[in-house]
Amino acid sequence: QGGRGVLRLKAAAPRGLFYAWQSMVQVLNANRTEDGFSVPVFSIRDVPRVEWRGIMLDVSRHFFTMAEVKCMIDTMSLFKLNRLHLHLTDGPGWRMEIKKYPLLTSMSAWRVPLANGEWNWQEVKLAIQEHDPEATYGGFYTQDQMREIIAYARSRQVTIVPEIDLPGHSYAAMHAYGDLICDGVDFPVEGKKGRDAVCMGRPETLRFVKDVVDELKAVFPPGSPIHLGHDEVSAEAWKKCRYCQNRLKDLNETDLKALSRDFLQQIADYVRKDGYDAIVWDEAGELEADKHIFVMAWRGNDFAAAAARKGHPVILAPCSHFYFDYYQSSAPTEPKAIGGLIPLRQVYGYELPELSPEEASKVRGLQANIWTEYLYDMGLVEYMAWPRALALAERAWSDCDPRDYKSFRSRAALALKLLEKLAVKYRPMDEED
């Protein structure tokens, strides 16, 4: 009654104190009384289970403002999530200023708006905003704004992970710079049919990517991971392109995969020259590039296990459990989503792939991905993210029992009260959740 306690926080590194305080916020939240807090005597010894506890936000399909991104960092850090991966480029828009290639943002960061909600990239029209009054939807981060986001995140123990998605998903880049398009491709028509991989034979491509990496390095501090994409690459255009075919001959290869392997290896080497890490989606884990490239496994545990077996550091982001753009329930009241069904219980129940101790040592962490085809505002993103990100956060931080969903649920209910105070538009838990 009105007594005073002593709080002692001790950590091996400054970030440990930050996390200790986040735990205290949760303890206080759980021990509120009418006129303050009544906290029992307790002691916690704590270390994170995995070092990479991430969320990916797709800012290409829909653009989110600085304030919205910062708000996301705030909520993530409250639950000790520590990597915010920004999917900065894709067909629908290029979202970071690159000074050497101004058309990426004057032209490919703006589109003629479609109705909110469903967004069909095959119908999208990118255009220079100043010349087409209809091209009003979009936006991008200047390099100074990105520095501000990085600093804001850093003070909350969050690392920003930029992704430049290559060689596929590159319609926005190709639209702005035609030198990246293969010979014989009828662009933009074929680009919209999924032939959106940049040319592997023209010297302009490698120059372009290295220039972009140089500018990323001017903004992101050494040690940052740089994500190079490599998901869902269509090699169709490469088959008929004389530049690509010449390159294949130079490499003394016949399989088109050799083009993307060589391209990836060159870029990865370039990225790592100054102490940055190169990351790719798991398709590129099959290219036999070097083992130091991090593999982010989105297609599932089998692909994660295959990459770990080869010796790649692995981040687990399986679409079976951690794709937060999928539906949370089959109720007809859910906002329109891309498909799939991943209820809260399923996120919490995720089991790691079967791995030997050596392979398991390659697992760097867990990550949820939030693609935004249908998530046209931050309220929808928050609805899809929470409470599922609470389940991810707990599984990534603690060595808790994935089958003890009931006890997680009681903690999640308290955490949602915190989110309520922050005006985060989470999805309330149902009886049956």
Binding site for ligand ACM (CB under 6 A): 231-232, 281, 298
Toward Zn ion, which CB reaches closer, 167 or 285?
167
Tokens 């906290």 belong to 39
Toward ligand ACM, which CB reaches closer, 281 or 376?
281
- The answer to whether the peptide bond before residue 92 is cis (omega within 30 degrees of 0) is no
Toward ligand ACM, which CB reaches closer, 80 or 227?
227
Toward ligand ACM, which CB reaches closer, 281 or 408?
281
Which amino acid appears at position 27 of this protein? V
Which residues lie closer than 8 Å to 332 by C-beta, 6 or more apart? none
Judged by CB under 5 A, how many residues of this single chain contact Zn ion?
A: 6
Compute the least distance from the CB of residue 108 to Zn ion, in Å: 20
Q: Is 241 in the site for Zn ion (CB under 5 A)?
A: yes
Helix/strand/coil for 8: coil
Both tokens assigned to 166: 């290559």
Compute the least distance from the CB of residue 284 to ligand ACM, in Å: 11
Compute the least distance from the CB of residue 167 to ligand ACM, in Å: 14
Both tokens assigned to 303: 């692909």
Helix/strand/coil for 21: helix
- DSSP secondary structure code for residue 193 in this structure: G
- E strands of 348-411, at which residues? 363-370
Both tokens assigned to 375: 């998530």
Compute the least distance from the CB of residue 412 to ligand ACM, in Å: 26
Return the closest-CA partner of residue 364 out of 85, 75, 130. 85
Q: How far apart are CA 4 and CA 194, in angstroms?
A: 64
Toward ligand ACM, which CB reaches closer, 214 or 232?
232
286 binds, among ligand ACM, Zn ion, none (CB under 5 to 8 A by kind): none
380 binds, among Zn ion, ligand ACM, none (CB under 5 to 8 A by kind): none
298 binds, among ligand ACM, Zn ion, none (CB under 5 to 8 A by kind): ligand ACM
Compute the least distance from the CB of residue 247 to ligand ACM, in Å: 25
281 binds, among Zn ion, ligand ACM, none (CB under 5 to 8 A by kind): ligand ACM
Compute the least distance from the CB of residue 281 to ligand ACM, in Å: 5
Compute the least distance from the CB of residue 190 to Zn ion, in Å: 12
Pairing type for strands 137-138 and 110-111 reads: antiparallel
Toward ligand ACM, which CB reaches closer, 232 or 334?
232
Return the closest-CA partner of residue 58 out of 392, 381, 396. 381
Applying CB under 5 A, which of residues 50, 233, 244, 268 lies at the interface with Zn ion? 244
318 binds, among ligand ACM, Zn ion, none (CB under 5 to 8 A by kind): none
Residue 406 CB-density burial (10 A; 0-12 exposed, 13-18 middle, 19+ buried)? exposed
Q: How far apart are CA 116 and CA 193, in angstroms?
A: 23
Compute the least distance from the CB of residue 240 to ligand ACM, in Å: 25
Toward ligand ACM, which CB reaches closer, 196 or 394?
196
201 binds, among ligand ACM, Zn ion, none (CB under 5 to 8 A by kind): Zn ion
Q: Is 208 in the site for Zn ion (CB under 5 A)?
A: no
Q: What track of x and - describes contact with Zn ion for positions 188 through 207 (by CB under 5 A)? A: -----------x-x------
Return the closest-CA partner of residue 64 out of 187, 56, 205, 245. 56
Q: How far apart are CA 26 and CA 415, in angstroms?
A: 7
Toward Zn ion, which CB reaches closer, 267 or 412?
267
Q: Cα angle at 7 between 5 and 13, to 5 degrees?
A: 180
Q: Which stretch binds Zn ion (CB under 5 A): 160-168, 242-250, 262-270, 324-332?
A: 242-250
The answer to whether the beta carbons of residues 379 and 331 sit under 8 Å apart is no
User: What residue ranges bind Zn ion (CB under 5 A)?
Assistant: 182, 199, 201, 241, 243-244
